Amino acid sequence: MSLLSRPARLTAIAAGVGLALVATGCGSTETSTPSAGSSVSEECAPFAEYGSFAGKTVSIYSPIRDTEADLFEQAWAPFAKCTGMKITYEGTGEFEAQIQVRADAGNPPDIAFFPQPGLLERFAKAGKLKPASDKVKQLTEQNWSPDWAKYATVDNVFYGAPLGASVKSFVWYSPKMFQEKGWAIPKTWDELMALSDTIAATGIKPWCAGIESGDATGWPATDWIEDVILRELGPEEYDNWVAHKLAFNDPKVVAAVDKVGAILKNEKYVNGGYGPVKSIASTAFQEGGVPITEGKCALHRQASFYSNFWPEGTKVAEDGDVFAFYLPGNDPAKKPVLGAGEFVAAFADRPEVQAVQAYLAGKEFPNTRMKLATYVSANKGVDLANAQNPIDKLSMEILQDPNTIFRFDGSDLMPAAVGAGTFWKGMTDWINGKDTKSTLDFIEASWPKS
């Protein structure tokens, strides 16, 4: 394909996206009317617009592995088959280190799923990443809120669309327990604290938590802090804090952290089912909320993906054994949401690579993926009817809500020395008894100069 013809083709494709999706809708399994091109089989009709790339290979590198990786491969298999390309997928637990080595050595993958915008920014600034095509940019503007697109934009250049998402501002609880005891879901922070007192009065420790996670011990506590800072200081100040325009040991931050401390370091409130405050640091985050199912704890703040960790046979639903509610703020009218997700950035700009990026940015992919198993995407084009479980549905309702102010997990945006280092460590020490001020002073002092 010549360079001149590319823009023309892209506009044609972009126009076609909407049409094709309208044509297939969400009921692609129904017998739809035969598509215009009779040579294209019905199954491949949605992918015709991406072009044909017989014999081409696109490699994808990502931190998502195992079952979820299988589901990804299943989801894009029809796309790969119809366009004739081969997509080789590689998931690794050492993504952050490996991608650096491979990029430095001139052997990068075609596409990488970045779970941290901070990492994406570093590669973009080093000139390793290729800017996203106009089509991807357009699809992103169409399907995601500007909050999301912002995280993949570096120096006004847009590098790639978001992929999956997780909502972190959730408090897990047991609907059964709440119903039996007549507790109501709190709508404000004050109500949440009042509820905690009520629960504590019944002899159950209201909160349970676990922040042990091997090398990453401490991260669940950082999510707590971020959530509360976002609520106390507001999104703008949150951005300033993340960008270090607001000092880590600023009195406002200290106050917010103390607000978390009022829960996590309160012997009356924690650690339901496990023991004293210090047991938080030694409890694996995977097991942090499990006492809820045993009736030994009532509340557990953890991201939507915690639905994977409940013991087998636990029903995750509004009327089931466990479910989650939105972690309330001071003002019920405002809904700041802390979350995370991946971004699809490319190290190559070959047409087949751009086609894959465009496919992943469209509505087709998240809907197909959602039908297979649990998945959350902030893509506005997803049909909530495809959600496989109530918590995914609730997550996507929150993400699609126009009143939602989305902010990315701050520790993924900060320099790695802090976001994946001293912040985690500081929080672990804090749980173990260090006071708030000296913890934050320690983190502030570790912020890389320059």
Partner 1 sequence: MTTIATPLTQTGAHAHTPSARVRRRLTSHGASLIAIVIALLWTTPTFGLFLSSFRPEDQIKQTGWWTFFADPQLTLENYQSVLFGTSSSSGQMASFLINSLVITIPSVLFPVALAVFAAYALSWLDFRGRDWIYIGIFALQVVPLQMALVPLLSFFSQGVELFGVTVLPAWDLEGPARFIQVWFAHTCFALPLGVFLLHNFMSELPGSLIEAARVDGATHGKILRTIVFPLVVPAIAALGIFQFLWVWNDLLVALIFAGGTADSAPMTVRLAQMAGTRGNEWQRLTAGAFVSIIVPLIVFLSAQRYFVRGLLAGGIKG
Chain positions contacting partner 1, by CB under 8 A: 63-70, 88-94, 98, 101-102, 104-107, 213-214, 286, 305, 308-309, 311-312
Give min distance, CB of 420 to partner 1, in A: 16
170-173 and 297-301 beta bridge pairing: antiparallel
Q: Do 238 and 407 touch, CB atoms closer than 8 A?
A: yes
Q: Which is nearer to partner 1, 88 or 188 (CB)?
A: 88
Give min distance, CB of 67 to partner 1, in A: 4
At 348, list the tokens.
Answer: 């190559």
Give min distance, CB of 305 to partner 1, in A: 6
Give min distance, CB of 36 to partner 1, in A: 37
Q: Which is nearer to partner 1, 182 or 214 (CB)?
A: 214
Give min distance, CB of 21 to partner 1, in A: 29
Selection from 289, 224, 166 nearest residue 424 by Cα: 224
Give min distance, CB of 123 to partner 1, in A: 15
Q: Which is nearer to partner 1, 155 or 215 (CB)?
A: 215
Q: Which is nearer to partner 1, 158 or 285 (CB)?
A: 285
Tell me the C-alpha distance between 406 and 144, whole Å: 11
Tell me the C-alpha distance between 163 and 403, whole Å: 21
Q: Which is nearer to partner 1, 35 or 92 (CB)?
A: 92
205-207 and 297-301 beta bridge pairing: parallel
Q: Which is nearer to partner 1, 12 or 97 (CB)?
A: 97
Please identify which residue in the block is written with the tokens 């300033």.
240
Q: Do 271 and 279 touch, CB atoms closer than 8 A?
A: yes
All residues at 6 or more sequence positions from 221 whose CB lies less than 8 Å from its CB, including other chains: 209, 211, 260, 264, 280, 424, 427, 428, 430, 431
Instruction: Give all strands (DSSP E) within 214-330, no chain letters.
Output: 297-301, 323-326
